[in-house]
A and B are shown apart, each in its own frame.
Chain A
Amino acid sequence: MAALKATELSYRYRGSSQPAVDGVGFSVEAGQFAALLGPNGAGKTTLVHLIIGLFAADSGACEIFGEPIANPEAKRAIGFCPQELALYSTLNATENLKFFGRLAGLDARALKARTAAVLDAVRLTEHASVRVERYSGGMKRRLNLAIAMLSEPKLLVLDEPTVGVDAQSRLAIFDALKAQNESGTTVLYTTHYMEEVERMCREVVVIDHGRVLTQAPTSELASLGARESLILELERDAAAILEELNAAGHDAKQIGESQVELRGVDLARELAALDALAKRGLVRSISTRRPTLEEQFLKLTGEELRDS
């Protein structure tokens, strides 16, 4: 069953000529740990706001476990962790959790039990009665996540939950999320950190300019449509050879003093070039390298800056 199903979702901000989300369709199966990736301004946060029902779509539909997002049941199934530290800084962790827990409809007994459980999950139990204004950035991020997990949601939607935290807090967040996912919660995770995606997510949805570019398992995305590249260890300085290769129309890049990477474009031509270099005694060794997720992401979305 799909935990989340978006169909032709579109949304345009008032006064804008371009839609921020333009006919987006994708689904995430129940129990999945999926990443939503996109450069700045790609429409990720707008899409997340449509998914959680904060914005009403201009067209299209979004269903959470088969319920339209406008239904209270669909909203109740979601736990949302916003990009901002959405906490009341003059209240302590318990007071923050109790407030949001009551809004989520938890009764007193459930609220007490869940408060203790999520504080333990994000390792904040001993700081529960300390005002949030005295917390470190990492502690605030963990509490931000704890609030999202409080009502035992079936779908966790996380908008860059690890921004600006130290390695220890990040690890604690990963542990909490992993445990949550293993207990059956579906997770939709947006981030700019590719290593987090490779480490945590089993599926990736890439969006740009308000549209879905691709959706694939994380392990397959890195090699999707891209062959492994050839790494040439040369007998002499790589600069002259690099110039020669690029002049011949290859996509070559110097990656060390005597190393050149020949990116996979046309295998026949690359083998011919390799053969010519070997005959001249210039090649010491040959190896291959799989493209990284980040490289594949940049290939999909382009390398130009997204400042506007």
Chain B
Amino acid sequence: MSFFGHLRTLCAKEALVLLRDRQAVLLLFAMPALFVLILSLALEDIYNEKVGTSLPVAFQIDDDGEFSDRLVATLKKRGEFTLVETSEELSPDALLQDGTARAWIRIPAGFSKAAGDYLSAYGREPFGENKLEWRASPELDAPYRWSLRSGLSLAMLETILDSLVDPRGEHPDIERDANLFLRESGGGSNPLPTPLQQSVPGWSLFAMFFIVVPLSASLFRERTEGTLTRILTYPIPRSAVLLSKVVPYLVVGALQFLCMLAVGVFLVPLVSDMSLELGANPSVLIPITLTSALAATSYALLVASLAKTAEQAAAFGATSIIILAMLGGVMIPHFAMPASLQQVALLSPLYWGHQAYLDAFLHDASFGEVVKPLCVLLAFAIVSLAIASRRLHR
């Protein structure tokens, strides 16, 4: 029988043994699919705030003066706010509590007159009691609170300047004019992933690397129960035996990604407004997935070869994957990590896989543009396989 004949026989057995292990199948497919579904939905709001969607703000306008009209028009023009219609029966606290609005702004009666009086006697008289009042939801995080405050200040400044420089009744676009003085250098801001773009590759990688649990258990069973010894008594190349542990799990890794992709593309949109954008070059996902699966399988073999018992392999394997996933940006997005931790993340193979996926999703990366992370994963796989092979052949 040829090398490939032996390899096919060994792979078929490996696949059959894996398929008969229902717990392993659940662990490898159902668990990460649930993670993608639940965490994408759970993180939707947090991500939306982080990527700067318009904040729903309830306006209560009790003043009908010209200054108030101009201020409201300026606020509406700004991107930070979306005016939310409110029922007058609802108190500000109730509005913020039931989630209808994340902030509440009230322009009191007499605000325009107070503003006019203050500007005409500029610096000589205090503003008075009719001040604009605003309140943010207690759950609104500090950066967003700051953004709300600065948005209000800028709108107010624009309205004041508008009033002061408008002797002929014309309304100059102050924001546009201010931008004439500015120029941003560099490549602009880095686009952030949507919850699905974060979760689907993240938990796919987590699932791929989690094969350390069933693979190490299977390898230990073969070593202790004598089946590996029996296999090695047949005239077959030892490299075929080692490869038979890699090839089926490469296929499993690819199937895991397809499964998570299906959850992201078909299932999540059924229960939310989110949809998964794959980028302009989805074919690049194939080499990314295969290289990631190779790195995951090699790591599993490395752990199985270094451990002394099946329990040790399973415990160390599972724990190490959770740590590598945390560092690699699966559980905590890489962009949300402090700079020092972002450097440590480079040690995790999951980081490189995740970044390659994000490059494809967010930057429409071609194969050439993901070669670097793929080379890192490949080097990791080769080193792991070499050590595992050496130890298993002892």
Which residues from chain A sit less than 8 Å from chain B, CB to CB?
14, 52-54, 72, 75-76, 78, 80, 82-91, 95, 99-100, 102-105, 147
Contacts and interface: CB of A to CB of B under 8 A. Distances in A.
A88 B229 contact: no
Given A53-B233, A54-B232, A54-B233, A103 B6 contact: yes
Contacts of B12: 99
Contacts of B17: 88, 90-91
A87 to B, nearest CB: 7
B225 A87 contact: yes
By Cβ-Cβ distance, the 3 closest A-B pairs, closest first, are A84-B226, A86-B226, A72-B235
Given A75-B233, A103-B234, A105-B1, A87 B227 contact: yes
A90 B226 CA distance: 15
A102 B20 CA distance: 20
Interface of B: 1, 5-6, 9-10, 12-13, 16-17, 20-21, 224-227, 229-236, 394
Contacts of A82: 226, 229-230
A52 B16 contact: no
A72 B2 CA distance: 13
Contact of A88 (B1, B224, B227, B394): B227
Nearest to A85: B225
Which DSSP category, helix, strand, loop or mixed, fits chain B's interface?
helix
Contact of A85 (B10, B20, B226): B226
Contacts of B234: 75, 100, 103-104
Which DSSP category, helix, strand, loop or mixed, fits chain A's interface?
loop
Contacts of A14: 394
Given A87-B227, A90-B17, 17 more contacts: A53-B233, A54-B233, A75-B233, A75-B235, A78-B233, A80-B230, A84-B224, A85-B226, A86-B229, A86-B230, A88-B13, A91-B17, A99-B12, A102-B1, A103-B6, A103-B231, A104-B234
A86 B1 contact: no
A80 B1 contact: no
30 contacts: A14-B394, A52-B233, A54-B232, A72-B235, A75-B233, A75-B235, A78-B233, A80-B230, A82-B226, A82-B229, A83-B226, A84-B225, A84-B226, A84-B229, A86-B227, A87-B225, A87-B227, A88-B17, A88-B227, A91-B13, A91-B16, A91-B20, A95-B16, A99-B9, A99-B12, A103-B1, A103-B9, A103-B236, A105-B1, A105-B235
B9 A102 contact: yes
Nearest to A14: B394
A103 B1 CA distance: 8
A77 to B, nearest CB: 10
A103 B227 CA distance: 12
A141 to B, nearest CB: 12
A78 B233 CA distance: 9
